[in-house]
Structure 1
């Protein structure tokens, strides 16, 4: 049974096809569907999905949805290589690459064009504090 808790912050994403979008997030990124709100005709209008604790998204049905270019959602993951392997090439904006902040990152676009950066920690023996001190 999923855990329900007050969320201090979450993201709402307008999507053109809520079922297709939810399936993409589930199949590619490992999100789980928690619940769906339907309109009076029984069509889904909002779906709450979660990957891990505090990685919640609210998919909002909007036939006129368009993604902006100024917001990128970042998710901490443990399996970036496996995600890259099962993600179609046209969804990958930038492939997995080592970053100087002790992480491997990859950026994707979902079916509606929303950008997501996946970050997998890859410590190199230095403490995070030491890395941050060097870049100040």
Structure 2
């Protein structure tokens, strides 16, 4: 049996994001995002959120991809009201949060909220896309096993390694 390697890097302040994954695979999970304007949606997801157009069938479907297993299908649909039609989270690394926020704000001023630190040890940026989808870019933070955050996570039952005791 081979060892599984996750496409998500180990949390670190200097973590490097993996390259966009361009191979074809059976998708274990994907999301359909209805759009009434393929061009605007595609542009925002690519230039703002860092996806690529893996392939498109004009006015039928655009298959967008970031890392392995981060697939989004833009499909025809009507524009929804002010409330987000859906919400989805994508893993990223810490250094990408500010970059994504800047690119998205340039494309659609006021579309981002955050970034903010979450109690589960991540930094999250919320972006509202042109089709009113709520996209959360979430970056795990490195965790010092001696920190108060590590103790708090242990207290709620998470298996966080105990700090090493100094050897005499």
Normalized against structure 2, the TM-score is what?
0.68
Pairing 1:6–2:26 present? yes
Q: Unmatched 5+ residue regions in structure 1?
A: 39-43
**Rg: which structure is higher?**
2
CA deviations on 1:13-58 (whole Å, 9 max, x unpaired) are 00011121011000011100011123xxxxx211000011100000
How many residues get paired? Answer: 129
Question: Hey, what does 2:68 align to over in structure 1?
Answer: 53
> What secondary structure, in the 3-state scheme, does the structure 2 residue paired with 1:86 have?
helix
Pairing 1:81–2:98 present? yes
Question: Hey, what does 1:123 align to over in structure 2?
Answer: 142
Q: Distance in 2 between matches of 1:30 and 1:8?
A: 21
Question: Hey, what does 2:42 align to over in structure 1?
Answer: 22
Change (3 A) 1:4 1:103: same
**RMSD between aligned alpha carbons?**
2.4
Write 1 or 2 for the structure with the bigger share of strand: 1
Question: Hey, what does 1:99 align to over in structure 2?
Answer: 118
Normalized against structure 1, the TM-score is what?
0.83
Question: Hey, what does 2:55 align to over in structure 1?
Answer: 35
